[in-house]
A = this chain, B = another copy of it.
Amino acid sequence: MCCTGDDLVRVLATLSNPHRVRVVAALAGGRNYVSRLARELDISRALLQVHLKKLEAAGLVSSRLELSEDGKAMKFYEVNPFSVHLTPEFLASAAETLTIEKGSPR
């Protein structure tokens, strides 16, 4: 037991976008940096950055800024291992720690 119901909802919301699923899938095969990942997934870099931010905000990926040998700053992303067993019973327990306030996404 580690996450609140709100955290779960945030994770599910984050993974409810095909682009972000593909990003996680790509990173599951190994870490990568933004520009290259954008080329491999064939999406714009700006779009990828937005999705990466959401994934990181949800705790699904981590980033690390590194300097390549030729001095260029490159931001590497990698997946944080996670495991959620989605069942009605699990949702029932998660619902106990769920706030319903309006304008809550944050």
List residues of chain A with CB under 8 Å of any chain B CB: 5-6, 8-9, 12-13, 15-19, 21-22, 24-29, 42-44, 79, 81-89, 91-92, 94-95, 98-100, 104-106
Given contacts A16-B12, A42-B104, A44-B106, contact A25 B95 (CB under 8 A): yes
Q: In the complex, how many angstroms separate the beta carbon of A6 from the nearest chain B beta carbon? A: 7
Contact of A15 among B79, B91, B104 (CB under 8 A): B91
Q: Is the CB of A44 within 8 A of B105?
A: yes
Given contacts A12-B12, A16-B12, A44-B105, contact A21 B95 (CB under 8 A): yes
Q: Is the CB of B85 within 8 A of A83?
A: yes
Q: Is the CB of A21 within 8 A of B105?
A: no
Q: Is the CB of A92 within 8 A of B18?
A: no
